[in-house]
Structure 1
């Protein structure tokens, strides 16, 4: 077995403008399904929907509750098995209804360090959109409506999204606390 390595990954929510992104590190000894769990936490999603990865020409998803047509089992292969190199890109889609597509880039491959607790988030920008808001375009519309206190549904939207929601805020410490609690 090869020596484990640390993958430094950059994930960008496609079509978000300004960009919503995170840079984080994981062991190359985790599965795609485990990477899905890390992505849920670093992005701020809530594990409420199905997902898939398109990587090295194949599509992977969880076989639970039932396998998605045309997908391979994401719970089996380790990231190391894909022989990723720096600048390799692949996609992660979460929630096929809203279509949250993410581009993941291998930013760096680092030697294993036993003193580094993984996974860990290094940095990011902007808050994750709330679940079920209609994808990137629905989120843009939601932000426009939240900027208008005269909107007839303003109070209802605030109740749904939370009065403390700030689209510009990303808290790396809070993400790392979640990652370490698992």
Structure 2
């Protein structure tokens, strides 16, 4: 990882895609190039719809970036000391954001565009598709089973899954305005 000037020089347009989701669950965001990865974690939680209930880390090539844990056998770089511009600087550069090691949610993050720094609000979601899966539904495979159960009133787990998720769930839902309102409330 190369270290760059920590002053924001540009805006990055990134695409975040939940690996294995069909139809794809994704968000396109504009963020400053100089955000720390702990800040990016907060942005991703809001943009995707997660609730920050689980551990996370980034994989950049064979390197791990996250919250160091002395009990962990893996060498982890402290995310509070790494900036987005340290790990991606060219269009098509990408890395992985892992959330909830039990469910194993992997998000591929691709740098799509480098934009000039202007007065635009950052971070902001400019496009996206589909709802985030519910927390603790068992990863991408559990999510598939969950959808099958809630969409079929004759399914053995239909009522139980609907009750578990709070009565209703729309897998097609994506409210960009609500996400941006919540992103605007983040304080760094």
**What is the match of residue 127 of structure 1?**
131
**What is the match of residue 148 of structure 2?**
144
- In structure 2, relative to structure 1, the CA distance for the partners of 1:79 and 1:66 (3 Å cut) is farther
* 2:63 equivalent to 1:58: yes
Given candidates 75, 85, 89, the residue that maps to 2:90 is 85
Q: Distance in 1 between matches of 2:127 and 2:87?
A: 25
Q: Kindly report the root-mean-square deviation, in angstroms, between the aligned alpha carbons of the 2 structures.
A: 1.8
Shift of the alpha carbon at 1:156? 2.4
* 2:170 equivalent to 1:166: yes
Matched ranges for 1:5-16 at <5 A:
5-16=10-21
Q: Distance in 2 between matches of 1:65 and 1:177?
A: 37
Range 54-63 or range 128-137, more displaced: 54-63
* Count of residue pairs the alignment pairs up: 181
Given candidates 104, 113, 127, the residue that maps to 2:109 is 104
CA contact (8 A) 1:61 1:67 kept: no
Range 83-92 or range 9-18, more displaced: 83-92
Deviations 1:16-39 (A, max 9, x none): 111111100111111111111111
- In structure 2, relative to structure 1, the CA distance for the partners of 1:44 and 1:68 (3 Å cut) is farther
Shift of the alpha carbon at 1:89? 1.0
TM-score (norm 1): 0.92
Q: Distance in 1 between matches of 2:137 and 2:90?
A: 35
For structure 2, the 5+ residue unaligned runs are: none
* Aligned structure 1 segments of 4 or more residues deviating by more than 4 angstroms: 64-68
CA contact (8 A) 1:146 1:157 kept: yes
For structure 1, the 5+ residue unaligned runs are: none
Q: Name the SS of the counterpart of 2:131 in structure 1.
A: coil
